[in-house]
Structures are given as C-alpha cells and as structure tokens.
Amino acid sequence: MRRCLEWIFIATLQAGIPAGAEPLECADPRFAIVSDDDALAQQVCTLATEAAEKLAACNVPLAETRRIRIELVTEMPEKCLGLYHCGENQIEIPVPDVMQSMRLHDSSLSHVSNEAFFQSVLVHELAHAAFDEMPCPFESCITSSEYIAYNMQVMSLPADDISTFESGLDMAKKIPRDSLNPVILFMKPDTFMSWAWIHLNQRPDACAYIGDVMAGRIRMDYERP
C-alpha cells in the first residue's frame, strides 16, 4: 500500500532493511534489488519486469527512465505487505517467508498461492510507482492510486484465482464511485479491493478506464477540508 513519508515511521521500517546489502542491478535498468539472498534478488528482477509488462498492457506504464529500488525486508509494520515511498522511487516488500506469515486467512485472496500472491503485491506496489508520476490536483490522490493498484493486483493473478475471487462477490452489485473512498480504504481494505474490482468490471473497457484514471480524466479523489 502506498504511504507518503508523513504517514510512516521510518525507524520501524529501517529495522528490517538488509544490513550492508548492495543493490543488485537488474537486466531491466528500471530496477535494482536490495536483498541478502542473491538468488531471491535475481528472481525479483524477473518478477519486476514481468509486473511492469502487465501494468503497461493496461495503461499503467513505468517509464524507461525510472530507476526503482526494491528492498526485500524481514520486518514490516503490522498488516503492511508492501510500501511505496512517494517521490523516492523506493519500494519495501517482505521476503516471501515473512509475507506468507503475514497473510490473513480470511482475506478475499487467501486462496492464491504464495508465489502468485507475492508477485501480485509487487504489481500493486509498482502500480503505485507508476501513478506517482501522474499529476494530482489535490494534496493526495490516494483513492485513485489504490483503485489502480488493487485492480492491477487482482488482474495480475492467474485466471482460476480471479474466478475464485469473483465467486465470493456480487459482481452485479452497483458500486457508486463515491463509495470508493479513504474511509473504506483504511477501515476495510479488503472491502475496498472487492468493490474496486466490481466497479472496474462494470465499465465497458476496464483498461481504458484505468487509463482515464491514470491520466486524471476520471477523478476518484476530491479536495478535503
């Protein structure tokens, strides 16, 4: 989930960063991985490129000039499966074993394999990185950013996992755009993800709609008093 610096405790995050680890420069120059495990770092290089391709295919591009540092950490704030640092081209994501231990058994995505889920979280955080370059007329466009990130996370899953996810939803339920807001996001993130997916799939062209949100032609945020 995206967090700007005023929303996070840096000391908490620093505790899980690999000490003395040098970044691994990926073949894709947009990514560098920090990890104590070279094999895992290589794997994440591949996953990051695959994730970027999935994002680009649905109008969420990561510019070729970007250089994003992905840190694989052993500690995260409670219930936080990923962090994108706004304006810093930096992502923190727990190593797979830690992520597995943090997953909620009653989540709408609890059926997804650990491998597919790990990649989907990476897609989520890279979607935040892509959105971070888009203009926002307000102090924060967090609803738009999370709408894109959650939808791209689900879209990146294997087809069978998406079908299982949808089987627990009322895909005909009308979701007003106003119901997708920061209150639902922070209080019930699983509900936000589900409603965002239903809402997107009721649009005539899901990826065209995502492109409109990315470009600001469709706004999901408003100026708060």
* DSSP string for residues in 79-103: T---EEETTTTEEEEE-HHHHHHH-
In this prediction, residue 21 carries a pLDDT of 65
- The answer to whether residue 8 scores a pLDDT higher than 70 is no
Q: Which residue has the higher pLDDT, 8 or 216?
A: 216
Q: Which of 42, 102, 116, 33 is nearest to 74 (CA)?
A: 102
What sign does the CA torsion over 200, 49, 3, 92 have?
Answer: positive
Share of the chain above pLDDT 70, in %: 89
Q: Side chain identity at 94, as an amino acid letter?
A: P
Lowest mean pLDDT among 15-19, 73-77, 167-171, 181-185: 15-19
Q: Side chain identity at 69, as an amino acid letter?
A: R
Residue with tokens 């709609």: 209
CA pair distance 99, 118, nearest whole angstrom: 7
Q: Where are the beta strands (DSSP E) in 62-202?
A: 68-73, 83-85, 90-94
In this prediction, residue 154 carries a pLDDT of 98
Radius of gyration for the alpha carbons in the chain, expressed in angstroms and rounded: 17
pTM: 0.90
Q: What does pLDDT average to over the chain? A: 90
- Count of helices and strands (H, E) across the chain: 9, 6
Backbone angles phi, psi at 92, to 5 degrees: -120, 130
Which positions ≥6 away from 3 have C-beta within 8 Å? 83, 84, 85, 86
In this prediction, residue 1 carries a pLDDT of 53
In this prediction, residue 225 carries a pLDDT of 55
Which positions ≥6 away from 186 have C-beta within 8 Å? none
210: enclosing H helix or E strand:
helix 206-215
Lowest mean pLDDT among 77-91, 116-130, 196-210: 77-91
Over residues 140-165, mean pLDDT: 97
Q: Which residue has the higher pLDDT, 17 or 154?
A: 154
Which positions ≥6 away from 71 have C-beta within 8 Å? 17, 18, 33, 34, 35, 90, 91, 92, 93
CA pair distance 219, 191, nearest whole angstrom: 20
In this prediction, residue 11 carries a pLDDT of 32
pLDDT digits (tens, 9 = 90+) for 42-63: 999 999 999 999 999 999 999 9
When pLDDT is cut at 50, 70 and 90, the band that residue 224 belongs to is low
- The answer to whether residue 82 scores a pLDDT higher than 80 is yes
When pLDDT is cut at 50, 70 and 90, the band that residue 149 belongs to is very high
